[in-house]
Amino acid sequence: MTARDQAVAALKERLSHTFSDEALLERALTHASGTTRATAGGNNERLEFLGDRVLGLVIAHVLYERHDDVPEGELARMLNAMVRRAMCTKVAERLDIGPALKLAGKGKKRTELTDNILGDACEALIGAIYLDGGLEAAGRFIREHWKDALKQAPELRKDAKTALQEWAAQRSFDTPAYEIIEQSGPDHAPEFTVRLTVQGRKPETGVAGSRRMAEQNAAEAFLIREKIWK
């Protein structure tokens, strides 16, 4: 048994779902770099597309049920915080999906495991569970692995940048400043790294596929680091 086989077996034990069709799980764990052009349909990109929509539906339903006094705009901000790539990456890290992924190369030549790859794999896994067990199974997985984040959802009614700006203004600090310090990746899938500077505090960084989301991620990381948000 290879190290990856062992990692897949261990991952199965951590999932709240037993696959009837294990080919779906294998596809969810196969990054595009791990397939040839002839077998490209076997990677997890289509499952990622599906899983993203299933995640949004389940989280929206949970928020709608739990917060019947919250207007649509605030529900939307809470939803966005729950389904964004950084949250999926955190879930993937807790599940330790990385070693189970099929990537191109081996050893030092193995495709670099990025936050984007982890987040995509988490969404693909949701898509695979949905196809294998239906919405009930996918919902059970999401409610289990997003339960801590959902408890904090009321704190996320305001987007992170707005919350940080208000916090800084209350203390008569200068307006928080955001600066792109790196931009990489192809035009169709760019990655922005943004540095956030807040008066009198250590800088923070955020990474995302757009400048706006990278700024939001930096602001949220700062708010959590400084214990302004839990």
Q: Which residues are catalytic?
A: 52, 123
Quickly list DSSP for 126-191.
HHHHHHHHHHHHHHHHHHHHTHHHHHTGGGGSS-HHHHHHHHHHHTTPPPPEEEEEEEES-TTS-E
Q: Are 195 and 178 in contact (CB under 8 A)?
A: yes
Q: Residue 211 is which amino acid?
A: R
Token pair in block for residue 119:
């987040």
Residue 84 makes CB contacts below 8 A (sequence gap 6+) with: 208, 213, 216, 217
Q: What are the distances in angstroms from CA 36 to CA 31, 104, 109, 110, 166?
A: 11, 10, 17, 15, 50
Token pair in block for residue 69:
């006094």
Reported residue count of the chain is 230
